[in-house]
Amino acid sequence: MKIAVCVKEVPDAGSNPTIDASTKELDRSGDKALNQYDMNAVEEAIRIRDAAGDGEVVLVSMGPEGALASMRKALAMGADRAVLIADEAASGSDLVATSKVLAAAVKKEEPDLVLFGQQATDGDGAVMWSSVAERLQMPVVSQISELEVSGGKVAARRQTEFGYDRIESPLPAVLAVSDSLNEPRFPALKGIMAAKKKPQDVLSLGDLGVDAGDAGEAGSRTTVEALSPPPSSGDTITVEDEGDGASAEKIIDFLMERKLV
């Protein structure tokens, strides 16, 4: 079984990323890492491949060439190969443009299964997987907390705000997995050393047959008009906990005064 896992390099959570006021874009000049939600997708792909006894896990991403450094962590976990679309013409791509490039890269690989993390920590849009599935004309299941792959189909337990859905789908399919699905492994030293020797292909838009006008700012359909701080929540009252239990009474008194309890 061939599994493509779409991953993304994002600003490291510890670097306190900010928005560049001049470009209205996320400042990506600091430390970077692989999106933490994507690690669950990588882990699941490795488990599916190993359970099948053969197959290949291919990482697919779009970004600058330096993104390969972050992708190597997934290679060290056990993924077999990395494909990075690094093209200056793709810089500034929004959801529409990015999904077109990723879909072209995935289609070129012809996988049996496509996995995504549920969302990216830098955008939190949680819609890239559905956009790619639409372009590939594949069924899609999201918020997966349990997954079985066998007999040319997938059976997934999908978490919703009302409970759980049980969904079956034929392959090929696009799946977005929840971070509750598994616990990503830590790469062993042997895996880290082996990752350096695994195939790591860097492709251009031309290699995928994607016109430069369909990527980057030229191919994007959304723009950021303005940025501003969130509105003030009004006056706040801080109740200090001094360990004598009085803080709970103060909170109750506060709520009762406003007839909230």
| 3-48 pLDDT tens trace | 999 999 998 877 677 777 777 777 777 788 999 999 999 999 999 9
pLDDT at site 250: 85
**How many H helices and E strands in the chain?**
8, 13
- Paired residues of 117 in beta bridges: 177
Side-chain-side CA neighbours of residue 144 (13 Å): 26
Contacts of 260 (CB under 8 A, 6+ apart): none
CATH assignment, 2-219: 3.40.50.620
pLDDT at site 180: 94
pLDDT at site 218: 92
Query: pTM of the prediction?
Result: 0.84
Structure-block tokens of residue 95? 């959801």
Query: Which amino acid would we find at residue 175?
Result: L
Instruction: Give one DSSP letter per residue of 41-108, joined into a string.
Output: HHHHHHHHHHHHTS-EEEEEEES-GGGHHHHHHHHHHT--EEEEE--GGGTT--HHHHHHHHHHHHHH
Segments of the chain with pLDDT less than 70: 15, 233-234
Closest by alpha carbon to 17, among 35, 29, 33?
Answer: 29
- Residues 65/202, Cβ–Cβ less than 8 Å: yes
Closest by alpha carbon to 8, among 124, 143, 89, 110?
Answer: 124
Closest by alpha carbon to 186, among 67, 84, 46, 53?
Answer: 46
- Residues 112/3, Cβ–Cβ less than 8 Å: yes
pLDDT at site 16: 72
d(CA 83, CA 59): 6
Side-chain-side CA neighbours of residue 63 (13 Å): 22
Structure-block tokens of residue 214? 């369909």
pLDDT at site 26: 73
pLDDT at site 193: 94
Q: Collapsing DSSP states into helix, strand and coil, what is residue 150?
A: strand
Query: Where does the chain have alpha helices with state H?
Result: 36-52, 68-77, 95-109, 128-136, 189-195, 205-208, 216-219, 246-257
Q: Give the relative orientation of helices 68-77 and 36-52 as an angle to the nearest 10 degrees.
A: 40
Structure-block tokens of residue 139? 């069924």
pLDDT at site 47: 97
pLDDT at site 211: 96
pLDDT at site 126: 87
